[in-house]
Each structure stands twice: as C-alpha cells, then as structure tokens.
C-alpha cells in the first residue's frame, strides 16, 4: 500500500543555497543557480547521506528501491508557513501548458504568465485569469486572504544574488588560474514582520515499509549535511525536518484521472513515455567534473511541470564516464492529477 507524505525542510531566514546549473566549465556552473532543489539533486543528497553512515550493500538496496518504484520523491519546492496558525501554503511548478489556454493575440498576458515559475497549489488547473502574479509567482485570492497580505504585489519567496570569490588552489595541474569568480546563490527572506516563514518541501511515496528506516535516516541527515552548497562556506543549511500530510488531491494517482503533471525531473525510458508528453520543457543535466569522475555524461531531462496524458515511470541513468564508480541521476516521474477547471 503506497503512502504519500510531505517532508518540510525548515529554513532559517537569510539561509543561502547554491544549486549549480549544468555548464561546460566550472566557473559557469558556479555563476548561475537553480532556484530550488530538483529531484535528481535531492536523490543524490539522500544517497550520499545514507552512504556516510551505513555499508555499501544497504546503499545499493536503497538505490534499487528507487529504481523499482518502492521509493519515489518529487523535487523540493517552496512553502509558506503562517506562523501564528501553524498552517502551510504549498507551491508547485508552473504547468508547462500555462500559455496554451490564452488567446494568441494577448501577447502581454502570455509574456507575464510564461515568466511564472511557481504557482500556489490552489491554482493547479485554474484558469490563468485567476492567477495573481507577482514576479515569478502566482497566488490565489484565497491565499492572499489567508496571508492577510495588503501589499501582496511585493510578495517573494527568495532573493537572488552573487558573491565574488578567489580560488585558494588550482583546479588541476593544467589550470593555475586564481582570478576572482562569481558564485550565484538564492537567499531566504525574513518575513517575520508578516508572521510568515519560507521553507522547502517535497512529496514522497513509500511502497514498502522495509525501506522506511533508511529513508527517514537519509532525510533527517539533511539537518547535518545540508543541501545546495557546502555548509562550511555558509550555504545549504537545513534547520529541521517535519512531516505533513499531503493535500487530498495529490495523495495518489486517481483511477479516473486522464491527465497528469510531473513534479520531478523526468527521463522517459522509451518512445511510448516520450509520446505521453503533451506539454513540457527540458534542460541539460550532468556534464561537470566530480571528485571521482573526469567528466559526467550529459543527459536531457524533462522539467517539472510537464503535462502527460498517461502514467509514466521514467528511469534512473548512470552518468559515469569510463569509471568503476557509478553516478546515478534520478529521472523517475512523480505525478499528480492535473485537470483543467472551467472558467
């Protein structure tokens, strides 16, 4: 019996994160950052956490559980806690078909909606006319009322900035460059004056209780190991981990649902799964150097927010290149029902 739950990764105001983007060189990888932890990054963090405290066989079984869909995880997204009510508002990736329901001659509206990265979960399937757009976010009227935001047009979930740093040692024997370079980061704002706080969350699904102990251990170790940058450099700190129930609409893939949205990075495992996509964007992952790899392979992944007309599985890909040490990239699909509401 599958069980879907939410893990809230509690953050302190001003915490910084760097989620590097794939690039041809290290400097470019550092000079930009994703805005949230994708499912492949979260998967790697959980595997590394477990590997730090247990044996190789347990880690292999943990990875196999993901391959066999006994454990599933979404990407991590933003959530808002209403501190004085202990209530949460969850954000989802903006659906990939968000502009397809707008008249083609409404160019300004298309441009504005296309820029939205995250939507209030209450807006999933809602007409874009109901979206209250603030920069890269869309809020529902219900959320604006719940948050008592008189100036909701100033709403934000993160700031983005960069630091200039200097290498203390060369990257390789062939590279002695020590010039300054930029490291981009996101920073969690302090919303205490609004009685609000910003955190990350992700959904997960366990299909066999035998993996619960290792999964809980790997997740709780995020408090000590962090995610998204080195904690020794002041990045990636997770304060606490809490569990919450999933909204009823997202608890499972309903038998009567015929359209779905992926809330994880997704690697189609065959042509049939690729043809299930009705709207999507994609991005390149991998390609960088690691401590154990000369250079990882590149892989093209379907982004969160993809719309599908069938339930798909996805796959986990080994990006290692001529190495005995595997480097797995999680491309398993985590789907929620997606139904367009009438205007």
* Coil/strand/helix, residue 17: strand
CATH number of the domain located at residue range(s) 3-251 in this protein: 3.30.70
Query: What are the strands, taking DSSP E only, across 174-302?
Result: 180-187, 196-206, 240-245, 260-262, 277-279, 282-286, 298-302
Contact 306, 261 (CB under 8 A): yes
pLDDT of residue 110: 92
d(CA 108, CA 99): 11
pLDDT given for residue 282 in this prediction: 94
Q: Write out pLDDT tens, residues 39-73.
A: 999 999 999 999 999 999 999 999 999 999 999 99
Helices 39-51 and 212-220: crossing angle, nearest 10°?
A: 100
As a whole number of Å, the end-to-end CA separation of the chain is 36
Among 298, 290, 288, CA closest to 325: 290
Ordered by start, the domain boundaries in the chain are: 3-251
**At 214, is the secondary structure helix, strand, or coil?**
helix
Handedness of CA 83, 88, 89, 92 (dihedral sign): positive
The predicted pLDDT at position 180 comes to 63
Show the tokens assigned to 313: 């599985």
How far is residue 280's CA from residue 98's CA, in Å, rounded to a whole number?
10
pLDDT at 19: 84
Q: What is the pLDDT of residue 152?
A: 67
Q: Which residue ranges in the chain fall short of pLDDT 70? A: 1-2, 20-32, 151-154, 162-182, 229-233, 251-256, 287-294, 322-323, 342-343
Look at residues 147, 34, 141 and name the one whose alpha carbon lies nearest to residue 89.
Answer: 147
Q: Which two tokens stand for residue 106?
A: 């409404």
Whether pTM > 0.85 for this model: the answer is yes
Nearest to 198 by CA among 84, 52, 90, 321: 90
The CA distance from 100 to 58, in Å, is 46
Looking only at the bridges linking them, the beta strands covering 240-245 and 3-10 are: antiparallel
Per-residue pLDDT of 187-212, as tens digits, reads 999 999 888 999 999 999 998 889 99
């Amino acid at each position: 019996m599958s069980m879907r739950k939410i893990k809230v990764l509690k953050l302190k105001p001003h915490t910084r994160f760097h989620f590097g983007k794939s690039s041809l060189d290290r400097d470019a990888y550092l000079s930009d950052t994703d805005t949230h932890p994708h499912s492949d990054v979260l998967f790697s963090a959980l595997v590394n956490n477990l590997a730090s405290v247990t044996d190789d066989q347990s880690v292999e079984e943990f990875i196999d559980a993901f391959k066999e869909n006994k454990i599933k995880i979404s990407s991590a997204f933003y959530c808002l806690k209403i501190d004085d009510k202990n209530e949460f508002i969850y954000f989802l990736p903006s659906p990939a078909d968000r502009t397809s329901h707008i008249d083609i001659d409404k160019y300004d509206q298309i441009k504005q909606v296309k820029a939205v990265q995250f939507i209030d979960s209450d807006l999933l399937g809602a007409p874009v006319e109901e979206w209250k757009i603030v920069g890269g976010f869309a809020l529902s009227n219900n959320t604006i009322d719940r948050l008592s935001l008189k100036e909701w047009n100033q709403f934000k979930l993160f700031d983005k900035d960069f630091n200039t740093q200097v290498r203390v040692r060369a990257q390789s024997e062939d590279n002695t460059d020590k010039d300054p370079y930029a490291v981009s980061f996101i920073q969690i704002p302090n919303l205490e004056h609004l009685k609000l706080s910003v955190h990350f969350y992700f959904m997960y699904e366990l299909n066999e209780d035998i993996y619960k102990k290792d999964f809980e251990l790997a997740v709780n170790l995020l408090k000590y190991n962090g995610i998204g940058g080195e904690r020794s450099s002041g990045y990636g700190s997770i304060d606490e981990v809490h569990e919450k129930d999933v909204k009823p609409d997202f608890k499972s893939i309903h038998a009567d649902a015929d359209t779905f949205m992926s809330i994880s990075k997704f690697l189609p495992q065959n042509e049939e799964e690729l043809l299930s996509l009705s709207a999507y964007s994609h991005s390149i992952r991998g390609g960088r150097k690691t401590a154990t790899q000369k250079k990882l392979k590149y892989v093209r992944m379907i982004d969160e927010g993809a719309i599908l007309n069938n339930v798909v599985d996805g796959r986990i890909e080994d990006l290692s290149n001529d190495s005995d040490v595997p480097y797995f990239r999680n491309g398993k699909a985590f789907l929620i029902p997606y139904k367009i509401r009438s205007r």
